[in-house]
Structure 1
Amino acid sequence: MHPSIAFRSLRGTTLATVRPLLLAAFLASCSNAPTTPGGLTTTLTATDTVPVNATRPDSSKFVPAPPGEKVPNSYIVTTLDGQPAAVVAERMARATGGTVRHVIGNLPGFALDLAQESMVDSLLVSAEVVRVSEGRKVYSGSVGAGAVPTVQTKVRWNLDTIDSRTFARDSTYRYVENASNVPVYVIDTGINPDHTEFGDRILWGTDVTKEKKFAGRTDTHGHGTLVASVIGGTTTGVAKTVKMIPVRSQVGDKGNDADLAEAMDWVIDHNKGYAVANISLYISGGNDNIDKMIRRMAADGITTVVGAGNHDESACEGSPAREPQAITVSAVDMDGDRALLSTGKRVNYGTCVDVWAPGDSVYAAKAADDDGYVWAQGTSAAAPHVAAVAWLVLGEEGNEASARHISDVITSSATTGYLNVNGPDKFLYAPRSVAWISGPAEVGAAGSYTWRGSAWGGYSITYKWEVSTDDGDTWSAAGTDDRYTRSFNDDEEYTFLLRLTATNDFDEKPSRTWEISVDTGCGRPPCPGASVRRSR
Structure 2
Amino acid sequence: MKKTLLTRLLALSVYATALAIGAPAALAQAVDPPATHPYAQSQPIPGRYIVVFKDSVANPAAEAANLTRGLGGQLHHTYTSALKGFAASLPDAALQGIRNNPNVDYIEQDQTVSLNEAKLSSTQVQSTATWGLDRIDQTDRPLDTWYHYNYTGAGVNAFIIDTGILATHTDFQGRVQSGYTAITDNNSTNDCNGHGTHVAGTVGGLTWGVAKGVALIPVRVLDCSGSGTWSGVIAGINWVIGQATKSPNPLLPAVANMSLGGGASPAVDTAVANAVNNGVTMVVAAGNSSADACRYSPAREPSAITVGATTSSDKRAFYSNYGKCLDLFAPGSSITSASISSNDASTIKSGTSMASPHVAGVAALALAEKPATLPAGIASFLTDNATRNKLGSIGRGSPNLLVYSLGTTWASTSVAISSITDSTLSGRNGWNASATVTVRKRNSDWSIGDPAAGATVTGSFSPGGSVSCVTDPSGSCTLTSSIIRSTDSAKVTVTGISGPLMTYDASQNAVTEIVIAKP
Assess same fold via TM > 0.5: yes
The one of 370, 379, 382 equivalent to 1:407 is 379
Q: Tell me, what secondary structure is at the counterpart of 1:230? A: helix
The one of 46, 50, 54 equivalent to 1:72 is 46
Q: Tell me, what secondary structure is at the counterpart of 2:414? A: coil
Structure 1 residues 62 and 393 mapped into 2: Cα distance closer, same or farther (>3 Å)?
closer
Structure 1 residues 404 and 141 mapped into 2: Cα distance closer, same or farther (>3 Å)?
farther
Q: Tell me, what secondary structure is at the counterpart of 2:101? A: coil
Over alpha carbons, which structure has the higher Rg? 1
The one of 312, 329, 332 equivalent to 2:290 is 312
Counterpart residue number, 1:328: 306
Q: Tell me, what secondary structure is at the counterpart of 1:278? A: strand
- Counterpart check, 1:276 vs 2:255: yes
Query: Contact 1:143 / 1:376 at 8 angstroms: preserved in 2?
Result: no
Counterpart residue number, 1:529: none
Query: Contact 1:141 / 1:380 at 8 angstroms: preserved in 2?
Result: no
Shift in Å at residue 173 of structure 1?
0.5
Structure 1 residues 64 and 430 mapped into 2: Cα distance closer, same or farther (>3 Å)?
closer
Query: Contact 1:142 / 1:223 at 8 angstroms: preserved in 2?
Result: no
Amino acid aligned to 1:79 = F
Query: Once the two structures are aligned, what percentage of the paired residues are identical?
Result: 33
Structure 1 residues 308 and 249 mapped into 2: Cα distance closer, same or farther (>3 Å)?
same
**Distance in 1 of aligned mates of 2:241 and 2:508:** 43
**Distance in 2 of aligned mates of 1:516 and 1:91:** 49
**Distance in 2 of aligned mates of 1:246 and 1:517:** 42
Q: Tell me, what secondary structure is at the counterpart of 1:305? A: strand
Structure 1 residues 379 and 191 mapped into 2: Cα distance closer, same or farther (>3 Å)?
same
Pairing of 1:182-193 with structure 2 (within 5 A)? 182-193=156-167
Structure 1 residues 195 and 515 mapped into 2: Cα distance closer, same or farther (>3 Å)?
closer
- Counterpart check, 1:416 vs 2:388: yes
- Counterpart check, 1:246 vs 2:218: yes
Structure 1 unaligned residues grouped into runs of 5+: 1-58, 146-151, 341-345, 445-513, 522-536
The one of 64, 70, 75 equivalent to 1:89 is 64
Pairing of 1:82-231 with structure 2 (within 5 A)? 82-83=56-57, 84-106=59-81, 107-114=83-90, 116-138=91-113, 142=117, 144=119, 154-178=128-152, 180-211=154-185, 213-214=187-188, 216=189, 218-231=190-203
Amino acid aligned to 1:276 = V
**Distance in 2 of aligned mates of 1:363 and 1:60:** 39
Amino acid aligned to 2:133 = L
Shift in Å at residue 229 of structure 1?
0.4
Structure 1 residues 117 and 220 mapped into 2: Cα distance closer, same or farther (>3 Å)?
farther
Deviations along 1:141-184, one digit per CA (max 9) or x if unpaired, are 52636xxxxxx982111111101111431010111115632210
- Cα RMSD (Å) of the superposition? 2.9
Counterpart residue number, 1:296: 274
Query: Contact 2:153 / 2:365 at 8 angstroms: preserved in 1?
Result: no
Query: Contact 1:197 / 1:233 at 8 angstroms: preserved in 2?
Result: yes
Structure 1 residues 281 and 179 mapped into 2: Cα distance closer, same or farther (>3 Å)?
closer
Q: Tell me, what secondary structure is at the counterpart of 2:148? A: strand
Query: Contact 2:412 / 2:503 at 8 angstroms: preserved in 1?
Result: no
Query: Contact 1:75 / 1:134 at 8 angstroms: preserved in 2?
Result: yes
Shift in Å at residue 370 of structure 1?
1.7
**Distance in 1 of aligned mates of 2:74 and 2:504:** 57
Counterpart residue number, 2:123: none
Counterpart residue number, 2:236: 263
**Distance in 2 of aligned mates of 1:75 and 1:65:** 18
Q: Tell me, what secondary structure is at the counterpart of 1:241? A: coil
Structure 2 unaligned residues grouped into runs of 5+: 1-26, 36-40, 121-125, 245-249, 419-501, 510-519
**Distance in 2 of aligned mates of 1:520 and 1:327:** 30
Shift in Å at residue 137 of structure 1?
3.6
TM-score relative to the length of structure 2: 0.68
Deviations along 1:391-417, one digit per CA (max 9) or x if unpaired, are 1001111x1111100000001110012
Structure 1 residues 89 and 275 mapped into 2: Cα distance closer, same or farther (>3 Å)?
same
- Counterpart check, 1:425 vs 2:400: yes
Q: Which structure exhibits the higher relative contact order, with contacts defined as CA atoms closer than 8 Å and separated by 6 or more residues?
A: 2
Counterpart residue number, 2:512: none
Shift in Å at residue 319 of structure 1?
0.5
Query: Contact 1:389 / 1:430 at 8 angstroms: preserved in 2?
Result: yes
Structure 1 residues 443 and 95 mapped into 2: Cα distance closer, same or farther (>3 Å)?
closer
Query: Contact 2:52 / 2:106 at 8 angstroms: preserved in 1?
Result: yes
Structure 1 residues 306 and 139 mapped into 2: Cα distance closer, same or farther (>3 Å)?
farther
